[in-house]
Amino acid sequence: MLLSLIMLTGGLVLLILGSNWLVNGASDLARRFKISEIVVGLTVVSIGTSSPELIVNLIASYNGNTDIAIGNVVGSNIFNVMVILGVTAVVMPVSVKANTTWKEIPFSFMAAVVLFFMANDIFFDGYTISEISRTDGLILICFFAIFMAYTFALALSHKEVPEVNYKKVSALKSSMLILIGLTGLFLGGRFIVKGAVDIALHLGMSESVVGLTIVAAGTSLPELFTSVIAALKKKADIAIGNVVGSNIFNIFLVLGASATIKPLPFNTVNNFDILVMIFSSFLMFLFVFTGKGKRINRAEGGFLVAGYIIYLSMLLTGNHHFAENIFN
């Protein structure tokens, strides 16, 4: 048990350090080749902060730990909205621009709804089992390609890109940072999956619950640090954009790539978690309009955090199993 905890903790540390090294190295290399800062932010940085989820899921999927793969994505998305956005709004109310309100948040909501329909083959199609198939995975990746096309179009529409002063880093150092970052992500992902599975077996917990809680929270730490720091610096676009972009990335690319590697059998008890994910996305959209101006205020942030505590208590006490009977 102690060894498993050490592996899990060490894996989380490696994931955080690895994603940071990857982002720094890739950003320096992109600047060296005069790629605009906004394109770097929309691609390298956003993918970099979500790379822990991607690596953990690819390893879990390859090893056949499908409950961890699905639980990690759904749990991370719930954690992103209810904890990261909630805590960020408590620290500093988060203003939301029109583009994010009417395009990116609805796209995030749509991603959650698409996953709900894809995962419930028994309920909607009358199949004997439910799974996120390779075909489903490829469809999710196609959605991700559409989202990336949108972000690039958005980047090109911002013609004025401010000059950013930065210390020039050698191409060799940048490349080494990328290589070390990827190595840290790979090793951290392996340690987390192994440690989480061992803990689940030892405590009698399901892999799904471990994925939805410990693994999901751990892999979301880069987003948490990024959003809180952005709020303190009064950069609301980064704070909410980080959460919304990560949620879209997690479903369309992380889960899409995982299902493409190996179809992911779906346990209908996890419909409760998907419905919580859909509801949290809806609340994020609703709260933009309920206060003064288009922003999520401290009270709404506190409501989101309280909601997560209630959800977590239901998860750990087993009071979420009613969904299994409804969708079978």
Q: How does pLDDT run across 213-229, given as a tens digit for each residue? A: 888 888 887 777 767 77
Report the mean per-residue pLDDT for the chain: 83
Burial class (CB in 10 A: 0-12, 13-18, 19+), 202: exposed
Are 263 and 152 a contacting pair, CB within 8 Å? no
Quote the pLDDT of residue 100. Answer: 76
Domains of the chain, by residue range, sit at: 2-326
The model's pLDDT over 15-64, given as tens digits with 9 standing for 90+, comes to 788 877 877 777 677 667 766 544 555 566 667 767 788 888 999 888 88
Are 22 and 185 a contacting pair, CB within 8 Å? yes
Quote the pLDDT of residue 46. Answer: 64
Taking residue 1's Cβ as centre, other Cβ atoms within 10 Å add up to 9
C-alpha to C-alpha distance for 265 and 244, rounded to whole angstroms: 26
β partners of residue 296: 94
Residue 92 has pLDDT above 50, yes or no: yes
C-alpha to C-alpha distance for 279 and 287, rounded to whole angstroms: 12
Quote the pLDDT of residue 117. Answer: 95
C-alpha to C-alpha distance for 131 and 124, rounded to whole angstroms: 12
Pairing outcome for strands 131-132 and 264-265: antiparallel
pLDDT band at 245 (very low <50, low <70, confident <90, very high): confident
Quote the pLDDT of residue 266. Answer: 93
Rounded to an integer, the average pLDDT of 161-174 is 66
Quote the pLDDT of residue 251. Answer: 95
CA 132 to chain centre: 18
Q: DSSP labels for 176-242? A: HHHHHHHHHHHHHHHHHHHHHHHHHHHHT--HHHHIIIIIHHHHTHHHHHHHHHHHHTT-HHHHHHH
pLDDT band at 108 (very low <50, low <70, confident <90, very high): very high
pLDDT band at 134 (very low <50, low <70, confident <90, very high): very high
Q: So what CATH class is 2-326?
A: mainly alpha
Rounded to an integer, the average pLDDT of 55-74 is 89
Q: DSSP labels for 2-15? A: HHHHHHHHHHHHHH
Q: What is the percent of the chain where pLDDT is above 90?
A: 32
Are 12 and 196 a contacting pair, CB within 8 Å? no
Range with the largest mean pLDDT of 6-20, 69-83, 90-104, 233-247: 69-83
pTM equals 0.83
Question: What's the angle, vertex CA 263, arms to CA 60 and CA 272, rounded to 5?
Answer: 75
Residue 66 has pLDDT above 50, yes or no: yes
Residue 187 has pLDDT above 50, yes or no: yes
C-alpha to C-alpha distance for 82 and 269, rounded to whole angstroms: 21
Are 222 and 19 a contacting pair, CB within 8 Å? yes
Take residue 286 and report the two structure tokens written for it: 């609703």
Q: Pick from 31, 49, 51: which is nearest to 40 by CA?
A: 31
Q: DSSP labels for 92-118? A: S-EE--HHIIIIIHHHHHHHHHHHHHH
Q: Pick from 248, 227, 251: which is nearest to 238 by CA?
A: 227
The model's pLDDT over 248-301, given as tens digits with 9 standing for 90+, comes to 999 999 999 999 999 999 988 889 999 999 999 999 999 988 867 678 999 999
Signed CA dihedral, 90, 93, 98, 100: sign only: negative
Quote the pLDDT of residue 162. Answer: 47
Q: Pick from 283, 322, 289: which is nearest to 303 by CA?
A: 283
- For residue 54, the SS3 value is helix
